[in-house]
Structure 1
């Protein structure tokens, strides 16, 4: 049997084993953390309080993904019209516009948090 034919099999088996191991480790760690909080007398509300989704998480993720999409479009245009290295152009514009989306999110977040009563900024 050719050793080259075994490489995909090993890749699939070890890839799935690695994914299972990471998920198992995350679940076990979360369970240990919760058990420690319960032993200290924490209530269910206190345990799940840190897991609440921020009301701004959808906005952050949306602006980040929009920035990546705009970066891809701009990179395709620049790559087609110039003699620059296409790989470098794609990486640069994806990172630039993804970061720009996060900066825009930060500005929106700060503006909205300043308008909240009881906040000291």
Structure 2
């Protein structure tokens, strides 16, 4: 019982430590750039994804994984080893789903511009 609590505390404190270090370092870096006269627009130069694009990525990944599980089950019934069939099909079809999502997002970006 005590081991589970200790492991949980260690995991969450490690995650908190990494996030805190990342955010504080980023803040110090930005403050140093501003003090040296850098333009504040430098921080907003990254491309921002909309919530709809994130949902599209997640949906197509989930569809790909679901199809991968179905195809893996068919390969498993066909005589292929269970671990190989499911693992390979999940990764292959999940990757195909992400590729389709990439091309759809690129097409949507071109239509917006």
Task: Give the TM-score taking structure 1 as reference length.
Answer: 0.66
Once superposed, what is the RMSD of the aligned Cα atoms?
3.0
* Larger deviation, residues 46-55 vs 86-95: 46-55
Runs (4+) of structure 1 exceeding 4 A deviation are: 54-58, 109-117
C-alpha deviations, 1:78-99, integer Å up to 9, x for none? Answer: 33x2332222222101110011
**Structure 1 residues 49, 9: CA separation in 2 closer, same or farther (over 3 Å shift)?**
same
Who wins on radius of gyration, i.e. which is larger? 1
Instruction: Check conservation: 1:63, 1:101, Cα contact below 8 A.
Output: yes
Question: Where do residues 21-36 of structure 1 align in structure 2 (5 Å cutoff)?
Answer: 21-36=17-32
Shift of 1:58: 4.2
Aligned with 1:83: secondary structure?
A: coil
> Structure 1 unaligned runs (5+)?
none
* Residues 57/12 of structure 1: CA separation in 2 closer, same or farther (3 Å cut): closer
Structure 2 stretches lacking a partner, 5+ long: none
Distance 1:87 1:27, change over 3 A: same
Superposed, which structure 2 residues align to 1:1-121 within 5 Å? 5-39=1-35, 40-43=37-40, 45-50=41-46, 52-53=48-49, 56-79=53-76, 81-109=77-105
